[in-house]
Amino acid sequence: MPEYKPFTILIHPKVAEAERVVKEAVSKHRALIVVGRCWVHYLGRAKSKLEPGERILMIKEDGSLLVHRSVGYEPVNWQPPGCVFHTRSKDDFLEVHAVRQKPAESVIVYFDKLFLVSSMDLVDAGEFSLYASEKDMHKAILLKPSLIEEGFKPISYEKKVEPGFVDVYGMDKAGRLVVVEVKRKTATKEAAVQLAKYIDAIKGKADRKVRGILVAPSINKGAHKTLETLGLEFKYLDPKHCANALRQVETKKLADFLQ
């Protein structure tokens, strides 16, 4: 370090200069950052208006757009990838229109003060890997039981039931007991047999129907057949999805507040 990377940067540019750089960044699919005083109109399924203030506009190479205020981890305005951009300077304003066709939506950002405009090619082939353990999957199910099915209510977890411990134990919306066995990887015949043993143990004590659900990101043929024979069910659930659910549950309160 440092390694020099060619990129464009304008400090306190004139509107015409900024317009040129924004247009070039968009046409060459570069990442663009514009910091300045702006106001924003959104028109789509709903309608929103953001009064003037100093913000950070980011346009990405895939045509997504974000407007960030000085606080909050969520953008105040945004558009998903695939926008078409129209940029123009008009009097002393810079207008950036981000338009989508399906559904018809447009975000217009008007700048009357420009502090910083920068565009560059970001080279990024790095892989993102999210890891959730089997315990994380249990937690996700407990915090967001709809991952199993609508109306599922967990009663306990890691419940001791000979010959071991039931991962998650609950009730479905019809009041039937549900035994959930979770696997982080492909569900095998052994997992299906294990689930069947728990169910047999519980059926002996319970006075009502007991359902068994094997939960895993994938299932092999042997396990599928065994489940069918034993009258048990399978539910696809990815550890990655659980990891996201865990973060979502936790940031939900915040998001609700920010809405």
**Stretch 188-217 residues interacting with its own copies (CB under 8 A):** none
Work out the number of other CB atoms within 10 angstroms of the CB of residue 12. 12
Instruction: Quote the CA–CA distance of 96 and 18 in Å, as a whole number.
Output: 11
Minimum distance between the CB of residue 136 and its own copies, rounded to whole angstroms?
A: 5
In angstroms, what is the minimal distance from the CB of 129 to its own copies?
5
Q: Residue 211, Cβ neighbours under 10 Å: how many?
A: 18
34 interacts with its own copies by CB under 8 A: no
Positive or negative, the CA dihedral 142, 144, 147, 152 is positive
Identify the residue among 20, 24, 31, 106 touching its own copies (CB under 8 A): 31
Scanning 29-37, 201-209, 215-223, 224-232 for contacts with its own copies by CB under 8 A, the matching segment is 29-37
Comparing CB distances to its own copies, the nearer of 113 and 159 is 113
CB 137 within 8 A of CB 242: yes
Task: Please list the residues that pair with 77 across neighbouring strands.
Answer: 67
The 80-99 site mask, x for binding its own copies (CB under 8 A), equals xx----------xx------
Report the nearest approach of its own copies to the CB of residue 155 (Å).
Answer: 19
Site for its own copies in 51-80 (CB under 8 A): 51-56, 58, 60-62, 64-66, 68-73, 75-76, 78-80
Note whether 186 binds its own copies by CB under 8 A. Answer: no
- How many residues bind its own copies (CB under 8 A)? The answer is 84
Contacts of 163 (CB under 8 A, 6+ apart): 197, 198, 201
Residue 217, classed as helix, strand or coil, is coil
| 171 is an interface residue for its own copies by CB under 8 A | no
Please say which residue, 107 or 210, places its beta carbon nearer to its own copies. 107
The residues in 108-147 that bind its own copies, with binding defined as CB under 8 A, are 112-116, 118, 120-132, 136, 139
Residue type, 119: S
Instruction: Tell me the one-letter amino acid at 30.
Output: R
CA 21 – CA 32 distance, rounded (Å): 9
Residues 229-248 binding its own copies (CB under 8 A) are 240-244, 246-247
Question: CA-based angle 62:65:71, to the nearest 5?
Answer: 140
